[in-house]
Amino acid sequence: MSAHQSHIDHAAVQSLSDSTLYLCATSRLAQTLRAIPPSDECRVWRTPRTLTLGQWLADLGNEALIAGLDDLPNPLDTFSEGLLWEQVIASSLSDAAQLFDLGGMASAAAEALALQRNWMLPDSGAEVSSEGGLFLRWRDAFLDRCKEIDSLDLGGWNERVICLLEKGFFSIPERLKVVGFDRTTPLENRLFAALKARGAVVEFCSPSSVGKRVLHDDAVSAESGHTSAIALADSNAECATVVAWAIEQMEKGTGRSIGIVAPDLASVREKLHHLLDDALVPETLRPGSGDRARPFNFSLGYNLAEQPLVRVALDLLSVATSRGVIEQTRLSGILLAGSWSAADSEADERARLDAAMRQELPCFTSGHALLRLAERLAQQGRELCPLTVDALRRLLDLASSGPNRRHASEWADHFRACLGAAGWPGERSLSSSEFQARAAFAEVLDGLAALDALLGPIGATDAVRRLNQICRQRIFQPETRGTPTIQVLGVLESAGLAFDALWVMGMNDDTWPPAPRPNPLLPATVQREAGSARSSAEVEFEFAQRVHSRLLFAAPEITFSYALADGNRIRRPSPLLEGIAQVVSHYSYPLTLASQLANAHSGACEAVDDTVAPPVAAGEVVGGGSSLLRAQAICPAWAFYQYRLGAQALKAPVEGFNPADRGTLVHATLEAFWTEVTGSNALQSLSGDERAAAISRAAIAGIAQFEKKSHQTFSPRIREIEAKRLERILGLWLDIEAKRTVPFTVVAKEEQRVIRVADIAVNVVIDRIDELDDGRRIVIDYKTGASIDIKNWASQRITEPQVPIYAALAGEDVSAIAFAKVQLDKPAFVGVAKDSDMLPGVPGIGDDKQKLFPPAAYPSWTSVIQHWETRLQAIAQEIKVGHAPVLFSDEKELQYCEVLPLLRLPEYRRLLAQSGNPAP
């Protein structure tokens, strides 16, 4: 039997009459008291009546409603109150409202009014400051608005209920036990005084004193237990040590109650949850097992919008109600998400449609554009996820139907219909937590429907925004199955609970006591004099002392811990740890699932040589073109993974044009220009105006060709801006072309050829081929990027093989190859030629300025061609035999590798280091 259960005096509980009420500080404490089992000899027992203060006052309000008390208005929930404050503040700020954080100001105003209510703070002194005077005007307007809609803030509503109780209304319990309150407010004290005045017995049962009546005589005492403090390196080490301690405590026997308390639970929740899952329930990693019962529970939930099922619903509504274009990433998110339409049965096809969308649609697009893409693919014989496409079409059609402005209740009904059309929440059965999340979301939709009086008619986008706000404000905590052994709590949630063992973490002076945070809209002196929460360092220190004293009685074994550092920042222990014995941690970090599997199967691991791939089979088509040879020359594994296995990176959508798009536009523009102006003679014959007009026509044609191939339509302004950029680039480049001394004719543009290299068919696209008047030919490849390398043409591994392939293996008589640097900054030809007169700035073989191919090794142009043929054949032969190690000379050359994760470079470096070889 757990400690917090064994401490309860069941006989005392059973002797209480029906009119005894336990008024608990937290819902968790109320649930704990209700769950107390009877003693073994007791066969019939009465469940104690346990409520929080808020729950009990709500019950009294319901009693007043049944009794027909007309002067009790409706209580505003947190969201409605915040919304009303926003409207009041926005009205006071007039046109300047959009410059302010209305949500933050509304929160501060709501907190200020709650402080005034609960701590009975006077208005005196508020007029002294501009903030105080502003708040008073806001408050008066807020209360006037509340009267108009027959509602009231929760603090004011509680005041009304207490006032009615003072006047003799309501049935009250004969005995009230107040349990677990670390401090009470003046308004709460007023309630307790009213109950006493009406004859009720009110008892305050703090954890240290309740033992005489509710806890057994063997209640936990700080003197009889063991208390220690441990310093740990940082927060990560603290979390790992806490989990190791919890595992050790669980191994001491079943039925133990283990508590973990953290003042700032939100900051460590994710880390603790991950470590506890990994150490105690690693099987939750298996598909379909994530919702299984866990031996631990967190008191701090997540906002409802973070639940995957609800997040999908909100995203669907957001996309469906968007007017105009939206980010492609949002469409990608819902396309890859589960919980709508045929998410499971069409998962693979959805992924393929997402890849096609990334490839063909712009960064900003629409749901209808995605539908058109799906239709186009279907016409091409590539129909993908038809059920999903139909569901998306129904969703978009329904979302756009009906009036543009409606009341919130109408939008709530409309959103339900839209989600139904989309097939939400999906085709598979819901888990327990998903079922609860769906129920909570249904309640949120009901809450949206209740906002008609506050919002009036609103648009669809605003309605979805409000729905998102409500979901973010709603804390979702799935019901826990059974009684978890480990409870992870905040300091307030731990009130009144006792454990067999307790660890209190995060005991640093910057966390505990909490820093004061007086409300900025109320005079600080008034708050300090009243001792209201967060009003001063003294108030917070006293509160922390009270909580600390309570924690010392919460278990026979208590450990406090704190971090020594946060990055480079040194941290100190809380002053409340003074006098507690410091001990050295003896806990070993819990083994992760990965380390457990590695240790368990280390002897069964087989070493596999993954440097050799299957050879290219007869008839096997290896794609990639010249990029295949380029990847093989840089890193053979790259070529194998990307071009033989077909792995490739998904295109990342970017706003506007990415570098590849801009390069494509330049290629298309140059192709259009040389189609009209066929060579140097035609170029020289153009006047300045004629050349400018030809350049402009080429830019327009290039943009049109790009739009057609990419299925995009640019705005006139975008076309104008891009055309000017292209005109400028092309104008500078033609100045370089005009310097050529030998007349030429452009005989090929974007020519596609299939060239066999070591029996591998390589598709090559040559940007341009010029023929000089004397018959010599030049192969030109346009380059728009800043990095251009031709040194590799003289190396053993040719990493820029596009042009050398054509020169050496196409069967053509080529006398020069060159990159055309078509750039705004220093445009030029870069390459190598048989003769020095062929291109400006390109030296010929044997020329003194030519340093790339030494005359001793390459005495003639023929020897250069032979070098290219030999090396390219050798690289292709590597592909043919399956040579595929992770081997490269310079990691920088992997910058554009699409399969970089498959190369496992960190592991590669580690293995090299272990073997004593330095990484390249």
In this predicted model, what pLDDT tens digit does every residue of 361-381 receive, in sequence order? 988 899 999 999 999 999 999
What does the pLDDT average to over 777-805? Answer: 93
3-state secondary structure 31-99: HHHHCCCCCCCCCCCCCCEEEEHHHHHHHHHHHHHHHCCCCCCEECCHHHHHHHHHHHHHHHHHHHHHH
Would the pLDDT of 98 be above 50? yes
Name the one residue in this structure whose structure tokens are 């007086």.
518
pLDDT value of residue 225: 62
Q: 125: pLDDT confidence band, cut at 50, 70 and 90?
A: low
pLDDT value of residue 10: 41
Q: Which residue has the higher pLDDT, 602 or 736?
A: 736
pLDDT value of residue 127: 57
Instruction: Please list, residue by residue across 411-429, b when 16 or more beta carbons sit within 10 angstroms of its beta carbon and e when fewer do.
Output: bbebbeebbebbbbbbeee
First-last CA distance in the chain: 62
Residues 154 and 81: beta-carbon distance below 8 Å:
yes
Instruction: Please give the full DSSP string across 560-599, using - where no structure is assigned.
Output: EEEESEETTEE--B-GGGTTSPEE---PPPPPPHHHHHHH
Query: Exposed (0-12), middle (13-18) or buried (19+): which is 796, by Cβ within 10 Å?
Result: exposed
Q: What is the pLDDT of residues 687-744, one digit of tens each?
A: 999 999 999 999 999 999 998 988 788 889 999 999 999 999 999 999 999 999 999 9
Return the bridge partners of 442, or none: none
Return d(Cα 541, Cα 547) in angstroms, integer: 10
Q: What is the pLDDT of residues 776-785, one digit of tens each?
A: 999 999 999 8
Would the pLDDT of 212 be above 80? no
Q: Which residue has the higher pLDDT, 560 or 600?
A: 560
pLDDT value of residue 830: 95
Nearest C-alpha neighbor of 753 from the set 812, 800, 793, 710: 812
Question: Which residues does 388 contact at the CB level (< 8 Å), separation at least 6?
Answer: 335, 341, 342, 343, 346, 349, 350, 353
Return d(Cα 874, Cα 734) in angstroms, integer: 38
pLDDT value of residue 919: 56
Q: What is the pLDDT of residues 512-521, one digit of tens each?
A: 999 999 999 9
* SS3 state of residue 475: strand
pLDDT value of residue 164: 93
Name the one residue in this structure whose structure tokens are 């990055």.
567
Pairing of strands 569-570, 20-24: unpaired
Return d(Cα 696, Cα 702) in angstroms, integer: 10
The count of other CB atoms within 10 Å of the CB of residue 718 is: 14
Would the pLDDT of 326 be above 80? yes
What does the pLDDT average to over 281-292? Answer: 77
pLDDT value of residue 128: 64
- CA distances (Å), origin 250, targets 278, 550, 859: 15, 24, 81
Which amino acid type is present at position 522? L
Return the bridge partners of 292, or none: none
Least confident interval from 282-291, 625-634, 725-734: 282-291
Rg (CA), the chain: 38
Q: What is the pLDDT of residues 882-892, one digit of tens each?
A: 999 999 998 89
Would the pLDDT of 802 be above 50? yes
Q: 42: pLDDT confidence band, cut at 50, 70 and 90?
A: low
pLDDT value of residue 38: 58
pLDDT value of residue 908: 80
Return d(Cα 771, Cα 747) in angstroms, integer: 6
What does the pLDDT average to over 870-874? Answer: 97
Return d(Cα 405, Cα 324) in angstroms, integer: 17
Return d(Cα 335, Cα 750) in angstroms, integer: 36
What's the number of CA atoms in the CB half-sphere (13 Å) around residue 284?
A: 16
3-state secondary structure 222-234: CCCCEEEEEEECC
* The model's pTM: 0.85
Residues 816 and 842: beta-carbon distance below 8 Å:
yes
Return d(Cα 854, Cα 870) in angstroms, integer: 17
Would the pLDDT of 4 be above 50? no
What does the pLDDT average to over 204-221? Answer: 44
Backbone angles phi, psi at 783, to 5 degrees: -130, 125
pLDDT value of residue 213: 31
3-state secondary structure 632-678: HHHCHHHHHHHHHCCCCCCCCCCCCCCHHHHHHHHHHHHHHHHHHCC
Least confident interval from 214-218, 309-313, 582-586: 214-218
* SS3 state of residue 533: coil
How many angstroms from the chain centroid is the CA of residue 367? 22
Return d(Cα 400, Cα 320) in angstroms, integer: 8
Which amino acid type is present at position 610? D
Return d(Cα 171, Cα 216) in angstroms, integer: 31
Return d(Cα 537, Cα 517) in angstroms, integer: 9
CA dihedral 214→217→222→224, nearest 10 degrees, is -160
Return d(Cα 272, Cα 264) in angstroms, integer: 12
pLDDT value of residue 479: 84
pLDDT value of residue 224: 45
Return d(Cα 251, Cα 176) in angstroms, integer: 40
Least confident interval from 112-126, 139-153, 209-223, 459-473: 209-223
pLDDT value of residue 271: 95
pLDDT value of residue 48: 85
User: Quick one: fold of 226-284+293-301+481-583?
Assistant: Rossmann fold (3.40.50)
The pLDDT mean for the chain works out to 90
Would the pLDDT of 505 be above 70? yes
Q: Which residue has the higher pLDDT, 407 or 478?
A: 407
Residues 278 and 592: beta-carbon distance below 8 Å:
yes
Would the pLDDT of 462 be above 60? yes
